[in-house]
Structure 1
Amino acid sequence: MISSLGNLLAAGISGLGLALAILAYLLLRAEQRIPDPRTRMINAIYRYMYFSAFLVVVGLSMEFGKQWAELQKAKPTVEVEQLAKDAPDEMWYDVLRATRRRLFGEAMPREFVRGGPRPDGVYQVDVVLQSGECRDYLAMARPPALIDVEIQGMANEVVNTQLGKQDHLVFGRLCKAKSPTPSVSVKIVMKFLKGGGVHALETYSAPGAF
């Protein structure tokens, strides 16, 4: 048994922790066989086992980190952004549809603008929110573009909750509070801060009410 435990040391810190945990288990089993087990001894063995488990976790974390670093080094040197830039428009629209489905299920766009670049790099949709109504929105462009979204004409009773943001993707929810004002109009404006190209700015009916 002892020689077998020694073989675990070849596995590094995690192997040492595992060997110590097995030893702690053997000590605990031997102590519990005594007619009158010593509480202090049992507590000390448990602390020993916790320390062994900690060594195992540390060792595995270091090993996974090492393997991850090796995988990163083994990745192709081709720039991902260049691949995205060279991909055909049809492939980007497939990504748009998959992103829409992941975020909003089978909801169909209400207001939308899609297409290629404009000279000013600014796109917008006009949205009319009824009292208590919410509307989800999605702005997306082909990488490596950098975009931002601005809500214009917001009244105090309209709340904009940004749910996610990346360089080329922004999505969120607009809600109008229930009030005597029957409706309010706002503009969702998508701006290219860097780059340009195919894009989409869409809204969807949000479930529930505000």
Structure 2
Amino acid sequence: MVTALDPNTALVLIDLQNAIVKIPSSTPMDVILAKAAKLVAAFRKAALPIVIVTVDPRRAGESTIRRDAKSPSFSALPDEALAIVPEIKTEFDDIFITKHTWGAFHDTNLDGELKKRGVTGIVLAGVATSRGVESTARAASERGYNIAFAQDAMADIVDSAHENSLNLIFPRLGEVDDTDAIISMLEQLGSR
């Protein structure tokens, strides 16, 4: 349960990209995207930062050897496949971060962009729960950010991995709640 949000909280959406959301997941993707879009609208209304994180695995010079043959390979995908899903309406002022690994802080300017804006807390949502979201959460925690997890705005390929992150890992890193509860907390910030 989310008990409070920092006044300087940013929404961080992980890997909501055309090709990635087509991978079968623990929750129907249309539900996840609707919840994520609802969070975007609430953060815009509150005039708080929105971070759109995408993964581009096509980094020059990187090994083409796959560590997990069961996971889909994205190295040969066209740009459109890696574009943000149309359900997430981006704006010019959004912060756009491209990562090349699971975590959004590794080898990116995410920490600097958040610090530049005085952000002290983040709300995390996106896919996959046990990969991109969890890796980003661990790094955010190590950097001192307060974290809220929108549990109904994230999904994973494997149900047990999703449940492990939500029930065992995330409560040690921050607070877990649903989208509506987080939006309610945002509205309370605005009324202060």
TM-score scaled by length of structure 1: 0.26
TM-score scaled by length of structure 2: 0.28
Higher relative contact order, structure no. (Cα contacts within 8 Å, ≥ 6 residues apart): 2
